[in-house]
Amino acid sequence: MKLETSRLLMREFLEIDSQAVFTYQSEPLYLLYSHWTHRNHKDVREFVQMFINQQLEQPRTNFQLAVVLKTENRLIGNCGIRVNDPELREANIGYELNPQYWGQGYATEAAQAILKFGFEELKMHRIWSWCVAENIASFRVLEKIGMHREGHLREKELIKGKWYDNFIYSIIENEWKTSPA
């Protein structure tokens, strides 16, 4: 499976991708809102292998794709959609990028592409996501792709000994069809 945007190629993960993932998942900025305190090669190989294994699911419900910068043919993160309830046609999306590429619109571009895939190919009715409330850049991505904040969960997540609030966002099929995003 492949998705393409003007600047990005989003493709299935390969075993060789674990080194690029390790590079960005080792960054302190990446780890800021993560439950992980550090990453090692074995953990990252297992992380990437999980995505490779999901490619074989029947029916497939998890589509986590490597995000590759076309101009450099460099893996800069991942973005995916997970079908939560096929009968209700509901899924959730998520993304992560190498901090070196933050603030350049790549997360928004990838998230728009995965949202389009979810509505057009998977025929979802509702797609949602969540983020740590302090992660302003992440919730701005969700807003830029047309999602609406529908919840604020107070002290929902304990990360490295600190409680964080979460925001819940969603977009409905009809909103997506009429959205200028």
Q: Give the pLDDT score at 177.
A: 86
Q: What is the mean pLDDT of the chain?
A: 96
Q: Give the pLDDT score at 178.
A: 87
Q: Give the pLDDT score at 179.
A: 75
Is 72:39 a contact under the CB 8 Å cutoff? Answer: no
| Pick from 60, 168, 70, 66: nearest CA to 118 | 60
Q: Give the whole-angstrom CA distance, residue 79 versus residue 97.
A: 9
Q: Which residues contact 91 (CB under 8 A, 6 or more apart)?
A: 81, 82, 83, 84, 118, 122, 124, 126, 127, 128
- Of 106 and 179, the structure prediction assigns the larger pLDDT to 106
Question: DSSP letter string over 104-151?
Answer: SSHHHHHHHHHHHHHHHTS--SEEEEEEETT-HHHHHHHHHTT-EEEE
**Mean of pLDDT values over 133-162:** 96
Q: Give the pLDDT score at 180.
A: 64
**Mean of pLDDT values over 117-123:** 97
- Domains contained in the chain, CATH given: 2-178 (3.40.630.30)
Is 136:142 a contact under the CB 8 Å cutoff? Answer: no
Length of the chain: 181
**Mean of pLDDT values over 72-81:** 97
Q: The tokens 């999901």 sit on which residue?
A: 54
Residues of the chain with pLDDT > 70: what percent? 99
| Pick from 82, 36, 75, 45: nearest CA to 60 | 82
**Mean of pLDDT values over 156-168:** 96
Q: The tokens 């409905």 sit on which residue?
A: 172
Q: Which residues contact 112 (CB under 8 A, 6 or more apart)?
A: 5, 145, 181
pLDDT, tens digit, for every residue of 3-59?
Answer: 999 999 999 999 999 999 999 999 999 999 899 999 999 999 999 999 999 999 999
Instruction: Give pTM, 2 decimals.
Output: 0.94
Q: Give the pLDDT score at 181.
A: 57
